Chain A
């Protein structure tokens, strides 16, 4: 394991911002710390960086404890949410900063800066003032600056949160490609599932200072450990049922789910886990909201109220009768 975090606790006064965190990141792996704001994920990242004093527990790299290693000797690169480029230096000097700190001979700087600018898609920007860059450009330069001294671990603290939606998506794709291609070991902090899933191999879900679940992206998405994690991952209603031979019998009818052991199961339904169809469970629409890709409904089915979706072109209003069938794609197994 490259990075190992064991039982890490960080206190702000009497308040434990992070409690007993355990993490492992393998060489070349990208791990996302996913959690709502205030869950302690940035604190954990800053503690790993060495910027936050640790109350107990350990952070180690390749088995060597980092407790006595100050920030500037950890060789971890950090990208802040809002870049934090040095305003008194131009783009090239920002990127070369880490090279200077690590004693890389001056004549090698220009080539490395050019290489990195090409990597982040800003070739030719060397002499620009950082105050003239757009948000997306600044973030690309911040990334190049962090990568320049070839850190053994790249730490990304909500790197895309400050950007517009369209730009964010594009930069996430570029960043994912860059991380994979250069086989960079990275730890990403984000509150955005999309971002985590685009960029990371594995995710760790944090809530109230504790890591609730950790695993491969797909498995966390499909099998959230508890209701809290499930809710954070977009589940809006829960449904208990009985599984037998790949079919779960529920109050809303049978759901086909492979890889479920026989016995009682708890299902977590995301809105698109129930779709309006010609047959299925009858219900009454209580609210309808138009979204870009679908019509989102709140439907009362007997005792319970569930979320469901209809095609974007459909027109349902409160009071209309609909029928719903489950769609396994939008259903997770909780626990």
Chain B
């Protein structure tokens, strides 16, 4: 990289800055402002210090961190053999496994909560930890597999030739090389687990509360804003710390180990490697179990097999539990997810382009700005959806055309959730575009803007489509912010599901399960399509962090 000793072209820097303002402005208006407003209200109400001094607060924080850590450990342990399967094994069905692994990650939290409650009806710590891990096995296995598939196997072979046993070679050569990917994935998983809402709400019951559910409880039920603010601050601090650790791990990965084309490294397992394959298959089996249980549940009643639940989607449920029919809720879901995806793609694409351009530019300051923005974009993942949602209600009336009553309110909140995911999918591919390809295009007469159009965009097109599909699925299943913001007369399907299971009546239950099954089918089909068509040169970046 050339350091700035020569002339800098001011016009380009100015243009880049202006472009960069768009995602920044979005984050400021629809994230920072609402969050700050809520936290500020808590402070002005007083009593924040009392909450911070209360040992019960710290027990809550402790439980959040410990249970998230436990889930992370489970997810990493379960994810590693699957990562091995995806990266190094050539067997029929590995492609299918790659798709299946991703399904839990995009399942609506309500669906997963329900599925685990079908197995542990009383909830508790164990199902809570397992359910959070269940979501995130995909993050670990796909992130680690992404690096593992490109790791030069000859380093391990060299260790073996020098007398290391297979296990020793793995421990002293492969594992350190995978370290950055594992750390990066673990940081993200920890983040997801520590801020998980729907699952904890359904499985934790009144006994096991985390910061996230407590913020919800204090805000909605107790109207204790100062308590909620104090808890938000604690959560925020933990989130920023986790993000920074993750960013450092990612930076290490980028100038890590020698990489090879993925095709060469996968082969048929032999000897003891079959044990690892077996472990991976077992993990996948466990991932599939709740899904299958749910599907079975959706068609079984006390009187035997029945499609009553699906038929009931035409209605508003037993005793009119819903204000609109299930199908209308589904339509709401599709519409909101479409808007959210369009919005997130616009912001996410611009953010990715700016981040890459900043990184490519020679100045130190520009690169520092890029890294800061990179971390800032991840923040929405880690701040309580409830805080954001409630923040919307107290701030957005200041904007023209009162968003609070607009049907766009839910899409904005959902977009905030999926923007970090979109950026994480597009950015690595954009970064991987060889700078010399761009230089070759320039020498052939392509202007800087033309280089973007002719080289970068075609090369990342598939990732963009995949990111859009992935974002769409996640928006479909989004529960935390949506449950808070969706008006009762316009619920999305996950919100309708949550309402249905909180009401009595077997038909309501059936209907909830049927709606979950629908969400799941849409999710599975979308994920399969993304994996098939959205991969770049045989490599899909869906779910890699």
Question: Which A residues have a C-beta under 8 Å from some C-beta of B?
Answer: 11-13, 49, 51-55, 70-78, 80, 84, 86-88, 97-98, 101-102, 145-146, 148-149, 151, 155
Contacts and interface: CB of A to CB of B under 8 A. Distances in A.
Given A101-B444, A149-B444, A149-B445, A12 B439 contact: no
Contacts of A51: 439, 442-443
Nearest to B6: A53
Interface residues of B, number: 26
A20 B393 CA distance: 65
A102 B6 contact: no
B443 A146 contact: yes
Contacts of B537: 87
A192 B269 CA distance: 45
A54 B6 CA distance: 5
A13 B442 contact: no
Given A55-B6, A84-B437, A86-B441, A72 B458 contact: no
Contact of B443 (A13, A55, A77): A77
A13 B5 CA distance: 7
Given A84-B434, A88-B459, A101 B450 contact: yes
Contacts of B440: 78, 80, 84, 86, 145
Contacts of A70: 442, 447-448
Contact of B5 (A11, A49, A77, A102): A11
B455 A53 contact: no
A251 B115 CA distance: 95
A97 B439 contact: no
B162 interface: no
Contact of A146 (B3, B6, B444, B455): B444
A78 B6 contact: no
Interface string B449-463: 010001100110000
A187 to B, nearest CB: 13
Contacts of A77: 443-444
Contacts of A87: 459, 537
B196 to A, nearest CB: 39
B4 interface: yes
B164 interface: no
Contacts of B447: 70, 72
Nearest to B442: A71
Contacts of B441: 86, 97, 101
Contacts of B5: 11, 13, 53, 55
A80 B436 contact: yes
A72 B442 contact: yes
Contact of A75 (B362, B445, B455, B458): B445
Interface string B3-22: 11111000000000000000
Contacts of B448: 70, 72
B3 A97 contact: no
B443 A78 contact: yes
B439 A71 contact: yes
Closest A-B pairs by Cβ, 9 of them: A53-B6, A101-B445, A98-B444, A78-B443, A71-B442, A11-B5, A84-B440, A84-B436, A88-B458
Given A12-B3, A87-B537, A148-B444, 16 more contacts: A11-B3, A13-B5, A53-B2, A53-B5, A53-B7, A71-B443, A77-B444, A80-B440, A84-B440, A86-B455, A97-B446, A101-B445, A101-B446, A101-B450, A149-B445, A151-B443
A160 B434 CA distance: 20
A72 B443 contact: yes
A132 to B, nearest CB: 14
A75 B454 CA distance: 18
A74 B537 CA distance: 33
Nearest to B439: A51
A53 B363 CA distance: 12
Interface in B444-484: 444-448, 450, 454-455, 458-459
Contact of A49 (B7, B443, B454, B455): B443
Interface in B293-331: none
Nearest to A95: B444
A72 B2 contact: no
B538 to A, nearest CB: 11
Interface string B416-451: 000000000000000000101101111111111010
27 contacts: A12-B2, A12-B3, A13-B3, A49-B443, A53-B5, A53-B7, A54-B6, A55-B5, A55-B6, A70-B442, A72-B443, A74-B443, A75-B445, A76-B443, A78-B439, A78-B443, A84-B436, A84-B439, A87-B459, A87-B537, A88-B458, A88-B459, A98-B444, A102-B445, A145-B440, A146-B444, A155-B443
